[in-house]
Amino acid sequence: MENAIAGLARRYFDAFQAADRAAMEALLAPDFTFTSPFDDHISREAYFTRCWPHAGSFRFRDDKAIFVDGSNCVIVYETEGKSGGTFRNAELFRFADGQLRSIDVFFGFIPKEILKQSD
C-alpha cells in the first residue's frame, strides 16, 4: 500500500501532466511556494503565472522514485517532451494538512546560454 504522502505527490504530477488546473488548485496550499534555479521562493500566484503555462507539455515517466520522510518527500523523475527530448529532476515536496506547502526543484549545471534565455 502506498504512503499517503507519496500518493499526494503523484496527484501533483498527474495534475501537471494533464494540465488539470482545478486539481492542482485543490492540492496547493494557499501559502504554497515554489523554488528552483530559475524561481526564488515564488508564491502560488506566481507559480500559476510562470510555471503553469508549461503544464501538459511533457509526460512524466511512471518509474518515479519517491522517498518519504514524515510529511516531506523527495521525488526523482524523468520526463519526455511532446516535441522530443528528456530531462531529469529531483524535487523536495513539503506537505501539511493534505496540501502541498512547498516545492524545491534541484537540477544540475545550467549552461550560461540557457540562463540568458530565461532572463
Q: Report the pLDDT value the prediction gives residue 62, as an integer from 0 to 100.
A: 83
The CATH classification of domain 4-118, taken from the options 3.20.20.60, 3.40.50.360, 3.10.450.50, 3.30.2320.50:
3.10.450.50
Binning pLDDT at 50, 70 and 90, where does residue 9 land? Answer: very high
Q: Map out the domains of the chain as residue ranges.
A: 4-118
Residue 52 has pLDDT above 70, yes or no: yes
Which grid cell sits at 41?
521562493
Residues 12 and 28: their CA atoms lie apart, in Å, by 9
% of the chain surpassing 90 pLDDT: 71
- Residues 19/58, Cβ–Cβ less than 8 Å: no
Q: pLDDT by residue (tens digit) across 75-115?
A: 999 998 887 888 889 999 999 999 999 999 998 666 666 55
pTM of the model: 0.86
First to last CA, the chain: 44
Q: Report the pLDDT value the prediction gives residue 82, as an integer from 0 to 100.
A: 80
